[in-house]
Amino acid sequence: MSFRNVFVAAVAFLAAASALAQADGSAQADTDRRVAALLSAVVHVKMRASPDARSSETLGATREGSGVVIDDAGHIVTIGYVVIEPEAIEVTTFEGKRFPARLAGYDHATGFGLLRALVPLPNVTPMPMGDSAALAVREPLMVLPHGGPGEATLAYLVAKRPFAGSWEYLLDSALFTSPPTLAWAGAALVDRNGRLVGIGSLLVRDSIEPGTPMPGNMFVPIDLLKPILADLERTGRAQGPARPWLGLATEEVGGRLLVTRVSPDGPADRAGVRRGDVVLGVGAEPVKTHEAFYKRVWALGPAGTEVPLQVLQGTTIRDVPVTSIDRFDYFRAGRGT
């Protein structure tokens, strides 16, 4: 399939929105140039985890996804779970050329991972960042994973709403699109001006609202990267007090939080919380949803704070004090080569 046929919808999308139509017939060439630049900014990311990586149990020892080049220094933004605890990272450009990269930074609160290519990437045009807060529901967007023009799709923004993950993760306003792409990890969400507005994180069953079936994808808004980007480039992490982390994965079941996984040798594991337990409350305050649970824990103080969990173990309700840590410190150090 030709470049022009594959991108006919995307070309029209860009041309209509960016006023490229010109009487002298140069519109198509200008649009093709812009689309080629977008393609060049998206790279394939392949990571081999460190032999002792704690995340390998759930994420695998090798991981792949997409990343987006955002500056001339070779910084590449992707979704963090693809690249945490690396032994080696390799990026492949649109032209099929492979280059080593390292993990420059990771932020658990947003989910972003930041890479830096170890050598200059040839024939790559960095993708400018847009304004994710300005996006309107029902606005058409382009989803651009690695793999060339055949992988690009058009989608609609169907919701901007909070997202709570089972792994102590909460976004106040995530971007949800539909129809879904199956190549979501680290994919670029691009607005009609050819600017990066989100990074692909998940495939979801209920994109419009929780509990209403409508398959789609969740993207992390690029606006969340802007305030922490300089910190990630400079020190590898966002500055300021870290949130307390317990090492619990829970699911909302019948108005209760069922523990589905306990991170080995994490704070909850050391305190005696086990899979199958039910988290009833934090101190004297009952919690029934992920959002309520996380906000209550984070309100107690920074990482290192003791979190008084009330837990149902079998038929017994127990008070379980858990000394929280910074999740950043739980992972094995590794930058990749």
Is 184 found in the same domain as 207? Answer: yes
The enclosing domain of 159 has a CATH number of 2.40.10.10
Q: What is the mean pLDDT of residues 195-205?
A: 97
Q: Is residue 63 one of the residues assigned to a domain?
A: no
pLDDT at 25: 54
Q: Is residue 180 one of the residues assigned to a domain?
A: yes
Structural domain of 169: 132-233
Q: Is residue 335 one of the residues assigned to a domain?
A: no
Q: At a CB cut-off of 8 Å and minimum separation 6, what does 252 contact? A: 258, 288, 289, 290
Is 265 found in the same domain as 224? Answer: no
Is the pLDDT at 192 greater than 60? The verdict is yes
**CA–CA dist 76, 111 (Å, integer):** 14
Q: Report pLDDT digits (tens) over 320-331.
A: 999 999 999 999
Of residues 133 and 5, which shows the higher confidence score? 133
Is 214 found in the same domain as 138? Answer: yes
The band of 2, judged by pLDDT with boundaries at 50, 70 and 90, is: very low
Decide: 80 and 108 in contact? Cβ < 8 Å: yes
Indicate the residue among 233, 257, 274 that finishes a domain: 233
Q: Is residue 309 one of the residues assigned to a domain?
A: yes
Q: What is the mean pLDDT of residues 234-242?
A: 95
With a pLDDT cut of 90, the percent of the chain lying above it is 82
Is 216 found in the same domain as 262? Answer: no
The band of 10, judged by pLDDT with boundaries at 50, 70 and 90, is: low
Q: At a CB cut-off of 8 Å and minimum separation 6, what does 50 contact? A: 85, 86, 87, 332, 334
Which secondary-structure segment (H or E) carries 319?
strand 316-323
Decide: 52 and 45 in contact? Cβ < 8 Å: no
Is 171 found in the same domain as 195? Answer: yes
**C-alpha closest to that of 141 among 185, 199, 95, 92:** 199
Indicate the residue among 177, 209, 233 that finishes a domain: 233
pLDDT at 28: 66
Is 136 found in the same domain as 229? Answer: yes
Is 143 found in the same domain as 220? Answer: yes
pLDDT at 325: 97
Q: Is residue 199 one of the residues assigned to a domain?
A: yes
Name the phi and psi angles at 100, rounded to 5. Answer: -75, 150
Indicate the residue among 233, 266, 286 that finishes a domain: 233
Is 196 found in the same domain as 263? Answer: no
Decide: 126 and 41 in contact? Cβ < 8 Å: yes
Is 139 found in the same domain as 229? Answer: yes
Q: At a CB cut-off of 8 Å and minimum separation 6, what does 96 contact? A: none
Name the phi and psi angles at 231, rounded to 5. Answer: -65, -45
Q: Is residue 302 one of the residues assigned to a domain?
A: yes
Is 321 found in the same domain as 277? Answer: yes
Structure tokens at 279: 């988290």
Q: Report pLDDT digits (tens) over 247-272.
A: 999 999 999 999 999 999 999 999 99
When the pLDDT of each residue in the chain is averaged and rounded to a whole number, the result is 91
Q: Is residue 98 one of the residues assigned to a domain?
A: no
Instruction: List Cα–Cα distances, 207 to 106, 134, 156, 204, in angstroms.
Output: 26, 19, 11, 6
The enclosing domain of 285 has a CATH number of 2.30.42.10
Q: What is the number of structural domains in the chain? A: 2
pLDDT at 27: 64
Q: Is residue 35 one of the residues assigned to a domain?
A: no
Of residues 21 and 218, which shows the higher confidence score? 218
Of residues 17 and 321, which shows the higher confidence score? 321
Is 265 found in the same domain as 197? Answer: no
Is 199 found in the same domain as 156? Answer: yes
Q: Report pLDDT digits (tens) over 20-57.
A: 444 455 666 777 788 788 899 999 999 999 999 999 99
